[in-house]
Structure 1
C-alpha cells in the first residue's frame, strides 16, 4: 500500500510575533537540506508492519514551518502490513483490518497523538485489489500495548473496512481446483494399457495443484486464516492422490489378468491329445488346469468404471457439503 503520512505539531521556538499572517506564511525545509537533522521529528511507525516492509521510493520528506509555531511534515511510504482477520465464511464477508500507528520513544506522559479534525483519512476510489476493496475507514485512539501506565506509548488506530471480492477467489482457487479434478476424472476414459497417458494426466494435475497451493500462500498473508481455501486445496490434492492410487491398483489387476489369460491359453494349446493309453491322473490334472479360475472376481475394466463413477460422485457430494457448510457458518 502506498500512502502519505501527514504529521502536525507545535513548536513555540518558531513563533514570530511580528508576523502579519502567521497561519498562512511558512517556509519549506526538505530532507536533503543541511538543517534537516537539527529539527525534532515525531518517531511514528506502523505497529503491524511486516519487517522491512516500509521504504521510501524517493526522498519525499519535507517540512513546512509556519510563523505561528506549527510544523507539518508529509512522507510518502510504500508499506507492507498484515491484518489478523478471519476469512471463514463463504462467500467471503466484509472484514475490519486494524492498523496502529505508535510512537517509538515517547510515553503517553511525554507525547499525545490525535487524528486531524474533520476528514483524517483520504483514500482513492480505486483503492482495491483483485480480492478486496476498501469501502470505508474509521479512526480512534488505542492504549499503546504496554501493561504499565508509565510505559504506554501514544497510539492511534485506523480501521479499514474491507469488502472481499468473491470473483478473485473463484478465479484463483475454486476454478483451477475444480478444473484439475475434472481433468483427472476425464483421465478415467483413457485405456488401462496407456500407462504414459494416465500417468501424465495425474502428474500434471499434481504439479498444478501444488503450484496453486503455493500461489495462494504467496498471495494471501500468513496471518490470515483461510480455512475454506485450505479445505478446498487439500481435498483437490487428495483427489489427485486417489486417482493415482486407483490407476496403480487397476493397472496391476489388468497386468495380472493378462498374464493369467496368457498362461491359460498356453495350457490349452500345449495339452496333449487324449488317447486310450493316457493315464487317468494326467487327464484329471489337465482338466483342473483347463478350469483354472481368474485371480479376481471382477475385471479391471469394470473396477475402473466403478471408480470413475465413485470419483465424480465424491466430488459432487463434497461440493454440496462444502458450500452448504461454509455458507451457513
Structure 2
C-alpha cells in the first residue's frame, strides 16, 4: 500500500524537474529548436515581395605579391542582412546567438563570389572557417575567410618602384540588383591587420564603392568593389636588379687599370662584363610585365650596358693607337740604322727623311682628329668613365624616386 504514494511522489518530482528544465532553455537552444522544425533557406523578401540589402565589412589579414603584377589577398568578409523570421525575444538588443553548424544550410545566405579573380579558396583548417550569428531583431551576420589572387594594373613607368592598382569586386550571381543590393558599411568598412603587408608593399590609398553599372553578364546583379593602391618598395630590388649591374660596371672600369699590352687579359675581362650585362638584361626582361612605354629599369639596364660596351670600345681605340705609336718608333729606328754616318752635307737630307716617315704615321691620327697619346687617352677614359657613371647614378635616383 505504501508503494503507490511513493511512486506518485516520484513521478510528480520528475515532472517538476522536466518542466523547470524546459522552461530554462537558453536563447541558443530556442533558436536552434526553431531551425530544427523550419527551413528558412528561401530569401527573406519572398514572403513580403520586397528587397534586401547586404552590408559588407572586410578585414585584410595578409597581402603579398606572387608575381610582378599579381597580388594574393587573405581576408575575412562579413555580410550583414535582416531576416525577421529569425527574430526572438531578449532583454538586450545586443544579445548574440550563434547558429549551430548543422543549421547553416537552413538559413538563407547571399551567393557572393569574387569577380575577375585568378584563383580563390576558402580555408577549412581545422574546420570550415565560417561563422553565423543572429541578433534579437533578426539581423544575421555571416563571416567567411577567403584567399584570392588578382591581377592588378601596374604603373610601369617607375618599375620596380611603381604602384599597383587592385580592384576586388564582390558580386551576387543569381539575384538581380532590384531585389538584392550590396553595399559597404558607411564607416570603417575596410580594415587592415598591422602586419598584413609584406616588406616590399605599402598601402597608398583605399576606397570601397558600389559598381552597379558594371555589367558583366546578361543579368545585371549588384556589385561592391574595394579599390586598393599599393606602392612597391624598391629596397627589395636593390639586391636582385641594381647591385649586380653596378658591380659589372665597376669591373669594366677596373679593366682600365690593366696594362695596355696585356691584350688577352683586358679583352677577356671586358668581354666577360659585356656578356654578364646582356645576361642580366635578359633576366630582367622575363621579370618585367608587358607594358607600353619605357620603364625605369629598362633605362638603367641600357645605360649600364652602354658603359660596359664603352669600356671595350675604349680598349680597342687605345690598342690601335698603341700599335700606331709602336710602328712609328720602329720605322724611325730602322731609318736611323740603315743610314750611313751622315756628313755635314747629308744632315739636312736625313732629317727630312725621318720627319717624313713620322708624318706618314701621324697622318691617319690627325685625319681622325686624335692628337692624344695612348697613355693620355687611357687616363682621360678612366676619369670620364667614373664621373659619367656617378653622374648617371645621381640623375637616375633623383628623377625616378624624388620627382615622380
TM over 0.5: yes
Secondary structure, in 3 states, of the residue corresponding to 1:140? strand
**Is 1:298 paired with 2:372?**
yes
When structure 1 is superposed on structure 2, of 217-226 and 193-202 the one drifting more is 217-226
Other-structure match for 2:6: none
Other-structure match for 2:77: 6
Query: Residue 101 of structure 1: CA displacement?
Result: 0.9
Distance 1:4 1:328, change over 3 A: closer
Quote the Cα distance in structure 2 between the aligned partners of 1:145 and 1:251: 67
Root-mean-square deviation over aligned CA pairs: 4.8
Quote the Cα distance in structure 2 between the aligned partners of 1:25 and 1:161: 36
Quote the Cα distance in structure 1 between the aligned partners of 2:314 and 2:241: 25
Query: Which of 1 and 2 has higher RCO (CA within 8 Å, sep 6+)?
Result: 1
**Is 1:115 paired with 2:184?**
yes
Query: Residue 169 of structure 1: CA displacement?
Result: 4.9
Other-structure match for 1:307: 381
**Is 1:246 paired with 2:304?**
no
Q: How many residues align?
A: 310
Other-structure match for 1:128: 197
Quote the Cα distance in structure 2 between the aligned partners of 1:275 and 1:86: 76
When structure 1 is superposed on structure 2, of 75-84 and 215-224 the one drifting more is 215-224
Gaps of 5+ in 2: 1-71, 366-370
Q: Bigger radius of gyration, 1 or 2?
A: 2
* Aligned with residue 288 of structure 1, among 324, 348, 353: 353
Query: Residue 210 of structure 1: CA displacement?
Result: 4.2
Other-structure match for 1:27: 100
Quote the Cα distance in structure 1 between the aligned partners of 2:372 and 2:250: 26
Query: Residue 303 of structure 1: CA displacement?
Result: 1.9
Normalising by structure 2, report the TM-score.
0.58
Distance 1:7 1:215, change over 3 A: farther
Secondary structure, in 3 states, of the residue corresponding to 2:305? helix
When structure 1 is superposed on structure 2, of 101-110 and 185-194 the one drifting more is 101-110
**Is 1:145 paired with 2:214?**
yes
Other-structure match for 1:76: 146
